[in-house]
Every structure is written in C-alpha cells, then in structure tokens.
Amino acid sequence: MPFSNSSLSAQVKSYLTFLPEEIRQKILEHLHGVIHYEPVIGIMGKSGTGKSSLCNAIFQSRICATHPLNGCTRQAHRLTLQIGERRMTLVDLPGIGETPQHDQEYRELYRQLLPELDLIIWILRADERAYAADIAMHQFLLNEGADPSRFLFVLSHADRVFPAEEWNATEK
C-alpha cells in the first residue's frame, strides 16, 4: 500500500530525495508505522490486586467490573484508550491465584496473548507478602519467551501499608 504524501512533513521527505523511489517509499511506510503504532499493554497479576481498578482509574470511568471479595474478570477484556490521534489498547486479564483450575486456564490465555503484548504491567499488592503465584507465572511467561524488559511491576494498595518509622524523616 503506497504511503500517503500528506502524512509526513515535506521536510522529512526532502531528506530522502536522493534515494530511489522504492526505497524512499519503504522508509516512509516504516516511519508511518512507527509514528502511528498502537501499543498493546497487558495488565496481569493475582486476583484482587487491582488490575480492573487500574483500568477504571485510567479511563476515569467504571468500565471494568470490580468486587472486594470475588474475581470479576474471567476473560481478556480489551479497552482502547485514545488521546488525540494516539491510541493504545489495554488488556485487562483475569487474575491468577484463585484456584489451580483457573490458573491452568489463565496460563494458556496469558501464553496465547504473549506475542501481541508490547508491555506487561504486573500488579502486586503492597500490603501482601505471598508472591509465590506471581513468581511462578512470571517464570512461566519467561520460559514461554517473554522479554524480561517488557515487564513493569506496579504496587497497588500502597495506602494500606503502614509506613515504617525509618521512612518518616520528620521524626528524626
């Protein structure tokens, strides 16, 4: 598909005039793809960590169901965020750690989605110390070929953590 001449500034195109038309067109198409790329970001972690709540906060709307006791997300929930001309897709994924049966099902779902995710935001509760399920799933995804640099670990529920005395600089 030919690259639209109106998509990039004439100045950028002028720098490429010394190249043959076919190569110039390929470079412009690649630039267009990079500039207009729409990333896909997966939101993963244990059940109850706040994955859906994070999506609701980002969209400033209750678009994902949440419940303080029961897991609500049972399948991948794709959400498109658009700001101006830029778009990205967030994929709210079911949480691990509820039952071994669900974990096996979600492991397969995570594995299937892995190739299309540009970034994985892994939510960890700050007020929890049991991370065995998180570690096991993270290791599974790495074994499946996930790039370790594409994981971003985020702490949730930080407001529920009592500050350590040594953190309080005003008392010292």
pTM: predicted TM-score of the whole model, two decimal places: 0.72
Whether 49 and 97 have beta carbons less than 8 Å apart is answered as no
Could you tell me which of 79, 99, 97, 98 has the C-alpha nearest to residue 89? 79
What average pLDDT does the segment 141-147 reach? 95
Q: Examine the domain organization and report whether 156 and 85 are in the same domain.
A: yes
pLDDT score recorded for residue 135 = 94
Count of structural domains within the chain: 2
Chain mean position to CA 170: 37
Q: Is residue 95 in a domain?
A: yes
Q: Is residue 167 in a domain?
A: no
Alpha helices by DSSP H, 94-145: 100-113, 132-143
Q: Is residue 79 in a domain?
A: yes
At 44-94, the pLDDT tens digits run: 998 878 787 776 677 667 776 655 556 555 578 788 888 788 888 889 888
Whether 137 and 46 have beta carbons less than 8 Å apart is answered as no
Could you tell me which of 132, 135, 126, 123 has the C-alpha nearest to residue 163? 126
| 5: confidence class by pLDDT, cuts 50, 70, 90 | very low
Q: Examine the domain organization and report whether 65 and 103 are in the same domain.
A: yes
Q: Examine the domain organization and report whether 75 and 106 are in the same domain.
A: yes
pLDDT score recorded for residue 67 = 52
Distance, in Å, from the CA atom of 106 to the CA atom of 76, rounded to the nearest integer, reads 10
Whether 51 and 92 have beta carbons less than 8 Å apart is answered as yes
pLDDT score recorded for residue 103 = 85
CATH number at residue 155: 3.40.50.300
pLDDT score recorded for residue 43 = 94
At 90-117, the pLDDT tens digits run: 898 888 888 899 889 989 999 999 999 9
Q: Examine the domain organization and report whether 79 and 2 are in the same domain.
A: no
Q: Examine the domain organization and report whether 79 and 147 are in the same domain.
A: yes
| 1: confidence class by pLDDT, cuts 50, 70, 90 | very low
Q: Is residue 168 in a domain?
A: no
Q: Is residue 3 in a domain?
A: yes
Q: Is residue 171 in a domain?
A: no
Q: Examine the domain organization and report whether 72 and 133 are in the same domain.
A: yes
Whether 26 and 103 have beta carbons less than 8 Å apart is answered as no
Q: Is residue 169 in a domain?
A: no
Q: Which domain holds residue 11?
A: 1-36
| H or E element in which residue 98 lies | none
Count of CB atoms situated within 10 Å of the CB of 53: 17
Distance, in Å, from the CA atom of 138 to the CA atom of 161, rounded to the nearest integer, reads 24
Count of CB atoms situated within 10 Å of the CB of 140: 15
Q: Is residue 166 in a domain?
A: no
Which of helix, strand or coil describes residue 170?
A: helix
**In the predicted structure, residue 159 carries a pLDDT above the cut 90:** no
Residue 49 φ then ψ, to 5°: -85, -20
